[in-house]
Amino acid sequence: MRIDRGRRVLSDWGSQHTLLSVFVGSYFGVRFAQVVVGPVVPAVVSSFGVSRGAVGTALTGMWVAYALSQLPSGVLADRLGEREVVLVALAATAVATVGLSASPGFLPFGVALVLLGVGAGIYYNPATALLSREFAAVGRAVGTHRVGGQVAGVAAPLAAAASVEYGWRAPLLVGPPLAVLAALLVLRFVAPTPPVRPTASVRDLFSPGDLAALLARPHTRYTTFAATLVEFVGLATMAFLPALLVGHHGLATRLANLLFAVLFAATALFQPLAGWLSDRLGRDETLALQASAGVLGYGALAAGSRLLVLPAVLLAGASMSATPVVQSRMIDGLAEADQGAGFGLFRTVYLLLGASATAVVGTASDVAGWTVAFGLLAAVLAGLLLSLLAVLAVGSRAA
């Protein structure tokens, strides 16, 4: 079996964790390029003379492209091997970030965001499939991998501070060398991976009947629903938390960016912890705890009290750490042969649905204000919590 071959190649602790470290660094480079856009949104609005809703719509375009890249990414990994697809993703991210930082107007800026979504979207599935095959504790491995993205969330606002003196393009220029460095590390430390289905035709890999059957499974349907709500809240937070802290709480830009970094620092801490807890306590139980934290955190952010800002940001970070748990829940229900296409399909659907967040929340903030916009996020997580409690109640009765 392929899993046995992989474990023979990476049989010792050092090799496994070198692999994990490389992918943590790669995800840092990919996610930095996306997250650094959020802190410069106010400057982009001012520079191009557009509304927050327009920028939110452009960001939605990035996340839609990111979502639509998931299934092709997983399928191509099955056909060509995970490492090769990861390298393509890193190269595409580097090219897109150069275009983003050099955009002469808002339309090219939006096009570059979409291209960035494609490049970043190709990365995650093959990296996660490879790690899930090499580590028995899937939740912890996925959670640790995602720490790279959260550390990028800490670094991006700090880099964005350069925009005060050097303009909003300066922090965006950090993205290309990070992606190139990540590609070099993958080339050096990650061995070529044999594809799962090297002889399958593209038509077979994209078989609508097989994909529909995967999506129709009860486990897949509910996990996709939960992931969509988690993603909706997370994308809106990444795009608009600094703007909320400035416009609704009256904080200085530098302090707002610092708290944005605190959010990602908290998420970096909570994600591996949440993955570890879900391996032991259970996926749904852990998700219910995180949704509860999010209801409190986003409710406090919507209220607008400065005294509650720091604990609210920490609670929001705990809530945003739900992604590795819900992804591990999905992996639990997939056979190895389904992990490329199945996991890619899962991510395509929930990311595509969740991508509406930036347009919805950006427009809500323009029309009804920040209290309504972030109150909506608290309501979304309240809906997730109620559904999880219902699932757990049904499970306990069945037991």
Q: Give the highest mean pLDDT range of 7-16, 191-200, 328-337, 345-354.
A: 345-354
Q: Give the highest mean pLDDT range of 153-157, 196-200, 364-368, 383-387.
A: 383-387
pLDDT digits (tens, 9 = 90+) for 176-208: 899 999 999 988 887 777 766 665 555 655 566
How far from chain centre, in Å, is Cα 334? 20
Look at residues 309, 362, 323, 313 and name the one whose alpha carbon lies nearest to residue 38: 362
Residue 318: what pLDDT?
92
pLDDT digits (tens, 9 = 90+) for 210-259: 677 777 788 888 999 999 999 999 989 988 898 899 888 888 888 888 88
In the predicted structure, residue 267 carries a pLDDT above the cut 70:
yes
Residue 198: what pLDDT?
61
Segment 263-280 mean pLDDT: 84
Percentage, residues of the chain above pLDDT 90: 19
Identify the residue with better confidence: 23 or 351: 23
Q: Say how far apart CA 3 and CA 9 lie, in whole Å.
A: 10
Q: What does the domain layout of the chain look like in residue ranges?
A: 2-195+205-398
Lowest mean pLDDT among 210-224, 272-286, 383-397: 210-224
Q: Are the beta carbons of 87 and 187 closer than 8 angstroms? A: yes
Residue 395: what pLDDT?
67
Q: Are the beta carbons of 267 and 309 closer than 8 angstroms? A: no
Lowest mean pLDDT among 232-236, 252-256, 369-373, 388-392: 252-256
Q: In the structure, what pLDDT confidence band is assigned to residue 335 with cuts at 50, 70 and 90?
A: low
Q: In the structure, what pLDDT confidence band is assigned to residue 6 with cuts at 50, 70 and 90?
A: very low
Residue 377: what pLDDT?
96
Q: What is the CA radius of gyration of the chain?
A: 20
Task: Give the tokens for residue 359.
Answer: 């347009």
Segment 116-141 mean pLDDT: 78
Residue 124: what pLDDT?
81
In the predicted structure, residue 13 carries a pLDDT above the cut 60:
no
Residue 12: what pLDDT?
47
Q: Which CATH number fits domain 2-195+205-398: 3.40.50.1220, 1.20.1250.20, 1.10.357.10, 1.20.1260.10?
A: 1.20.1250.20
